Structure formats: C-alpha cells, structure tokens
C-alpha cells in the first residue's frame, strides 16, 4: 500500500480500494480527466478530497475564482473516501481544557466555535442536494472502564457549563437497554448532534457542487514536480503542466515524501483500519439489543469506534498497521473483529465482508492548521488527527477565504505553521512506542 513516509507518489489513476463505500456508492461523478498540455490558472488545488473540493467550491461560489483541482487518482481516493463517516463537532486531539490552559478562554472558545461551524458547513452543503445516507443524530462516547465514566461525567458538566452543550449522561444499564448491549460499555455520555453518513457519497457531492460552480477537477494527474516559475508556480503532471499564481496543498495524510519543503517533516501519517461485517439478522440484532444507529466511540487511548449501517451491518474501526507495507495483513482486520466480539459476545459467528485502511494525518501539537505562507502564496490545511470529516469542509472554506485575501480570526489554527516533528526520521519509532504505551494504559489504567 502507498506509504507517504516512503513513497514519492500515490500513483496515477489508481482505482478506489475494495471498501464497503466503493462497493455500495454507485458510479463516481464525471470529472475533467487528466490534465493535458499547458494551462495557466489563478489557483491550483492539489488533492480532490474534502478539503480540496470544499476549497474549490467556495472559491467559485463565494469569490468568483474558478480553481483547477489536480488529483493523482480519483476524487476522494484518499481518506475522504475511506473513513467511518462520523460528523462531529471536533478536530485534532487537544481537549478544550488543554486549550484553555495553554491559550486562555477566549482562544479556546474561538476554536470551539470554529469546530462547531465545521459541522454546520457540512450540513449546509448536504442541504444543497447531497444524498449521503445520513443516519439518526446522536454520538455516544462510552466508558470502556467504570472509572472512565467519572471522567466522562466531568467532561459533560464542563461542556454544559462552557458551551451550553446538550450532553446526556447514561448509566451502564441505560446504554445496554436503550442503545446497544455493549459488554465493554460501563456508561456513556451522548451528544444530540453527531451523526453517521456515507463519506464517499459526501465527497462526491462536494465534487459535483464544485464543478457546477465552475471549478475544473482533473483526476489521474499527480503533481510530479512542484517548482517556482516567474511570479507563480509550475506544477508538472504526467501529461501536462499547470502554471498557477497561487497553490493550495490539500493532500493531508496522503502528502508524498519530500513533496514540498513547506510541509516536510510536519505531519505523521497513521493508518486507521476499518471492517464492515456481513448484515446482521433480526435474531442477531435482538441478541445484542443493537437498537441504535448513533455513532459510537470509546475512551481508550487507542480508540475503537463503530456504528450500525442502514443495511444492518456493523462498521468497526481502530488503529491499523504502522507501515504501508503491512497494511494488507489480515491480522489487523481480524483483531478488530475479535474486539467487536468482546463487545457483543452473541455475535461469535459473525464475519467481516469488507476490510480496508487509510492514512489519517497527525500533527505534533494535536490541532489542525490552515496556513498561508505570504512570501510564497502557498496555502495548506492539514493535521485533522483522525477527526476531520466535518472540519475539513470548514478548512476548505477558510482556505478559499485566505486565497481571496480575507483575514482570519487570531487563533492558533489559522496563525501558526504546523510544527516540525523532532527527530522526524524516527516518527514511526515514536508511533510504535505510543502504541505500546496505549496498550498498557488501556488495560491497566
């Protein structure tokens, strides 16, 4: 599998992975094909995932700028078409209490409002006619140990006081009787506004909106060379060259090795693994009392997450392999199935029908960054830390505003460059160490 820390290119016109989403979503929307010959544009966007497509749409619809999107493979070929489809008011891994301690309450509230706006941006785009199989609203965060429920209750109280957030506290019995009989759930908190959807169909919806607004989307067009040219940039692809005054990098966890000095050694791509089971029978659903289609995540350091899909399959996800070379090893999918069965012992005969993985993008400071280098007129948004399905649409919108010359609020996600990883060549060693620590922490603490 393509590994961004080792490979200089994600390929050219590669097909979608054999995922549940690719198998169930139908025919991909029309695009503008590979870039052929020489083209001059005002803005080139590299990457046709959520961020790049949202940026292209908002540039065209709100600023009258028709951008050229260059995608190596297919729209949403990367994480935008491989994730679990959770829409949440969050991004990054830094808690709001940590933000408050580091930057003060005003900044913390500003970042919260931006995360909340991300979910609203997704809803606004869906309301333009995107059919992405939205499920019943609700996000359940379960305590995987009894003592973790106290932490969740404290979090709920904090969010109720800080943000007037509607958070419900659920006992162990309430979770198991009203939602799902998860034997690893020792209580939970439930938010009213998270929901699940088909992430590939969502991205294809952004794709259609962007093209209808005037953007060009060229698939099968990896940027093999990125260099300065006169007052702008020359982007070389296998069959053409694009000359652009401004460039947006929207490649996130799929950014190739050594792609551009501006982002080198500033991200850590981490594999997330997902399985989707065969459909559950009515007897199986009753046996595990799986009543809800809310999205679910636990309190582990190495988190597991799941949801019941519209066709009664279970999607279950967690960490995957450390390197792309090991990504296809069935060990990781089988491990997820084993954990799923500890939650629902009545499903011991259940098998998975789909298994795939994808790269999420970690930042050193655990928050996303939407950055503009004014000296070079290069822009990027990266570092969603595995929670970017909703915020990436907002990031694309903010990138469009930056490209158009608008000023952003004075928040770290807008004003600061992604920090570099110390000892960057050893990032994977550090990741391995964190996984070992996480296993111990989740089991004993």
Which DSSP state fits 219? -
pLDDT digits (tens, 9 = 90+) for 425-443: 999 999 999 999 999 999 9
83 and 3 in a common domain? yes
21 and 155 in a common domain? no
pLDDT digits (tens, 9 = 90+) for 20-49: 999 999 999 999 999 999 999 999 999 999
239 and 112 in a common domain? yes
206 and 99 in a common domain? yes
Task: Name the β-bridge partners of 39.
Answer: 242
Tokens representing residue 2 in the block:
């393509």
d(CA 48, CA 77): 8
Mean pLDDT of 303-312: 98
Query: Looking at the predicted structure, is the pLDDT value of residue 114 above 90?
Result: yes
What is the domain range of residue 343? 136-196+270-362
421 and 289 in a common domain? no
399 and 348 in a common domain? no
Handedness of CA 62, 29, 79, 314 (dihedral sign): positive
Q: What angle do CA 206, 207, 210 make, to 5 degrees?
A: 85
Query: Looking at the predicted structure, is the pLDDT value of residue 445 above 90?
Result: no
Q: What angle do CA 417, 420, 425 make, to 5 degrees?
A: 155
321 and 280 in a common domain? yes
Among candidate residues 362, 396, 415, the one where a domain is terminated: 362
Task: Name the one residue in this structure whose structure tokens are 């998860």.
Answer: 182
CATH number for the domain including 161? 3.30.9.10
pLDDT value for 148: 97
pTM score, whole prediction: 0.97
Mean pLDDT of 207-229: 97
280 and 204 in a common domain? no
Mean pLDDT of 83-111: 95
Rounded (10°) angle between helices 105-126 and 391-403: 100
d(CA 100, CA 108): 5
- Give the residue ranges of DSSP H helices in 316-416: 330-343, 391-403, 412-415
Q: In a 10 Å sphere around its CB, with 0-12 CB exposed, 13-18 middle and 19+ buried, how is residue 169 labelled?
A: middle
- φ, ψ of residue 60 to 5 degrees: the values are -75, -45
Handedness of CA 216, 221, 226, 227 (dihedral sign): negative
Mean pLDDT of 383-398: 96
DSSP per position, 269-293: EEEEEEEEEPPPPHHHHHHTT----
Handedness of CA 436, 440, 442, 445 (dihedral sign): negative
307 and 256 in a common domain? no
Task: Name the one residue in this structure whose structure tokens are 């600023």.
Answer: 63
CB 236 within 8 A of CB 366: no
Please name the helix (run of DSSP H) or strand (run of DSSP E) that holds residue 151, with its range, or none. helix 146-163
d(CA 315, CA 155): 26
Tokens representing residue 409 in the block:
């609020």
CATH number for the domain including 387? 3.50.50.60
For the chain, the distance separating the N- and C-terminal CA atoms, rounded to the nearest angstrom, is 34
Percent of the chain exceeding pLDDT 70 equals: 100
Average pLDDT of the chain to the nearest whole number: 97
pLDDT value for 316: 98
Residue in 252, 211, 216, 198 with CA at minimum distance from that of residue 78: 252
CB 33 within 8 A of CB 220: yes
Cα→Cα distances 238→34, 222, 242, 302, 442, Å: 9, 7, 11, 40, 47
Among candidate residues 311, 341, 362, the one where a domain is terminated: 362
d(CA 345, CA 429): 35
342 and 300 in a common domain? yes
Number of Cβ within a 10 Å radius of residue 408: 14
Among candidate residues 328, 362, 396, the one where a domain is terminated: 362
221 and 109 in a common domain? yes
147 and 100 in a common domain? no
pLDDT value for 211: 98
Domain count, the chain: 2
Query: Looking at the predicted structure, is the pLDDT value of residue 68 above 90?
Result: yes
């Amino acid at each position: 599998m393509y590994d961004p820390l080792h490979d200089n290119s994600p390929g050219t016109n590669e097909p979608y992975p054999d995922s549940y989403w690719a198998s169930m979503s139908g025919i991909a929307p029309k695009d503008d094909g590979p870039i052929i010959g020489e083209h001059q544009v005002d803005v080139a966007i590299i990457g046709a995932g959520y961020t790049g497509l949202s940026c292209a749409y908002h540039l065209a619809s709100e600023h009258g700028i028709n951008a050229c999107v260059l995608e190596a493979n297919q729209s949403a070929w990367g994480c935008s078409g491989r994730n679990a489809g959770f829409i949440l008011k969050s991004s990054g891994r830094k808690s709001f209490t940590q933000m408050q301690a580091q930057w003060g309450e005003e900044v913390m509230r500003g970042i919260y409002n931006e995360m909340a706006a991300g979910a609203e941006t997704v809803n606004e785009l869906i309301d333009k006619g995107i059919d992405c199989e939205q499920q019943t609203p609700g996000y359940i965060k379960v305590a995987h140990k009894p003592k973790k429920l106290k932490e969740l209750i404290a979090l709920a109280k904090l969010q109720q006081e800080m943000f007037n957030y509607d958070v419900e506290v659920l006992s162990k019995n309430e979770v198991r009787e009203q939602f799902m009989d998860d034997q690893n759930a020792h209580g939970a908190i439930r938010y009213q506004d998270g929901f699940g959807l088909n992430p590939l169909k969502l991205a294809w919806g952004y794709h259609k909106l962007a093209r209808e607004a005037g953007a060009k989307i060229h698939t099968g067009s990896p940027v093999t060379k990125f260099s300065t040219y006169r007052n702008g940039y020359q982007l070389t692809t296998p069959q053409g060259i694009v000359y652009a005054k401004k460039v947006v990098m929207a490649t996130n966890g799929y950014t190739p090795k050594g792609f551009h000095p501006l982002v080198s050694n500033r991200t850590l791509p981490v594999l997330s693994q997902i399985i989707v089971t065969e459909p559950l029978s009515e007897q199986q659903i009753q046996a595990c009392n799986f009543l809800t289609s809310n999205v679910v995540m636990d309190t582990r350091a190495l988190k597991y997450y799941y949801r019941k899909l519209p066709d009664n399959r279970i999607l279950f996800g967690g960490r995957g392999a450390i390197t792309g070379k090991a990504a296809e090893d069935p060990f990781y999918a089988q491990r997820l199935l084993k954990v799923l069965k500890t939650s629902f012992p009545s499903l011991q005969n259940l098998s998975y029908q789909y298994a795939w993985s994808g790269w999420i993008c970690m930042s050193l400071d655990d928050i996303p960054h939407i950055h503009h280098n004014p000296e070079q007129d290069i822009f990027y948004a990266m570092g969603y830390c595995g929670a970017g399905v909703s915020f990436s649409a907002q990031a694309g919108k903010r990138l469009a505003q930056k490209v158009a010359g608008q000023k952003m609020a004075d928040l770290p996600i807008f004003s600061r460059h992604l920090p570099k990883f110390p000892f960057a060549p050893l990032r994977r060693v550090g990741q391995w160490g964190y996984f070992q620590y996480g296993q111990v922490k989740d089991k004993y603490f």
